[in-house]
Amino acid sequence: MRPVSASRHSPIGILGAMPEETEPFLETLEGSQSQPEGRFRFHRGTYGDREAIECYELP
């Protein structure tokens, strides 16, 4: 399997099993918008100059 090279335009993805795992990252996410989708909650915003998407499973 070849490694995937990330482009500067690719979003950063953070996946956690519980909200507690991703909370420190969420605190640094600017302009965060939250959206539930099935069993998951997604947060989308900006981290530095990059788009970032964070996700965790709802209890």
Beta-sheet strands, E only, within 1-59: 12-16, 30-37, 40-47, 50-57
pLDDT band at residue 8 under the 50/70/90 scheme: confident
Give the CA angle between residues 46, 36, 12 to the nearest 5°. Answer: 30
Mean pLDDT value across residues 1-11: 70
Residue 6: pLDDT over 80: no
Percent of the chain scoring above 70 in pLDDT: 90
Domain ranges of the chain: 12-57
The pLDDT, as a whole number, for residue 3 is 59
Nearest to 18 by CA among 30, 9, 10, 26: 26
